[in-house]
Amino acid sequence: MLEAVERKIDQMVAALEDADARELYRCLPAGKRLRARLILTIAGDGPEAVKLAAIVEMIHAASLLHDDVIDAAELRRGRPSINALYGDKTAIMFGDVLYSTAFTQLVDLGRPIARSIATAVTRLSLGERRDVLLSRRFHTDREAYLEMIYLKTAALIEAAAESAALLAGKRPEPYRRYGRNLGIAFQMIDDLLDVTEDEATLGKPAMHDLSEGKTTLPFIDLYEALDEAGQKRLLALHGRPIGAEDREWIREAMERHGIVERCRAEAGALIAEALELMRRAGETGLEQIARKMVERNS
């Protein structure tokens, strides 16, 4: 089913009749296609579902292009980012091309679906801005963190699930909640892997979030668990390159205070709630997608 989505995206990019756009798109790693898998599982693999999946994946790709510029990221899934290869201006403009192409195609799917996806993109943009604002200082505001990851990550997954349900003629509410929970859990695990995995697995430097100034859930929980001296040491690392000795100290402290298990349990509770909603809806095909989110290592 995903091959059909890839072909559809290729067709959309080819229809631009722009050789530069085609070349830039070939430089983008495909990723996990979580949102496409979700849509096709809910709505089947008919032409409209494939088109919706392609549109959502293009929007997601555009957001990552902008993210990489904001974060000055040189790698994306282990490969040089577009901004590293061609510069920030090219990455931003190509992101805009993907956004506008996706919205051009989206209008053909009807007002309710178009409104759902468009609203999610607005939230995504607000989440990107919220992420930048929160990164100005180390903070321990869990609610601010959860709201930010909902906007930046979960809103589009929520809309993908809701839109797929609308396309399939299913009641959208449980699918919307499933997508929301899945998206929040996905980002929680992503933030946890930034701490627990190495650069070879992540395709980016380990603990890159903290060195960028981001205060993610593992670091919020760790700060609360540390004594005063430990808190001062952690604060001193915020927004700065982290050496091997400090990385080892962070990992040891997280293990000692059970931070990794706590974060996984929080994400797991969201997944359990999502799966229960799907069981009540008589949906059996979404369990594997959800479980892969909390059991992955990259």
DSSP notation for 92-134 = HHHHHHHHHHHHHHHGGG-HHHHHHHHHHHHHHHHHHHHHHHH
Q: Which residues contact 86 (CB under 8 A, 6 or more apart)?
A: 24
Q: What does the pLDDT read at residue 201?
A: 75
Q: What does the pLDDT read at residue 205?
A: 78
> Is residue 278 within 8 Å of residue 286, measured between CB atoms?
yes
Helix (H, G, I), strand (E, B) or coil at 76: strand
Helices (H) and strands (E) in the chain, counts: 17, 2
Q: What does the pLDDT read at residue 297?
A: 67
> Is residue 271 within 8 Å of residue 293, measured between CB atoms?
yes
Q: What is the pLDDT of residues 106-130, one digit of tens each?
A: 999 999 999 999 999 999 999 999 9
Q: What does the pLDDT read at residue 31?
A: 81
Q: The whole model's pTM is what?
A: 0.94
Q: What is the pLDDT of residues 233-254, one digit of tens each?
A: 999 999 999 999 999 999 999 9
Q: List the pLDDT tens digit at each of the 298 positions of the chain.
A: 899 999 999 999 999 999 999 999 999 988 889 999 999 999 999 999 999 999 999 999 999 999 999 988 888 877 899 999 999 999 999 999 999 999 999 999 999 999 999 999 999 999 999 999 999 999 999 999 999 999 999 999 999 999 999 999 999 999 999 999 999 999 999 999 999 988 777 777 789 999 999 999 999 999 999 999 999 999 999 999 999 999 999 999 999 999 999 999 999 999 999 999 999 988 888 988 888 777 776 6
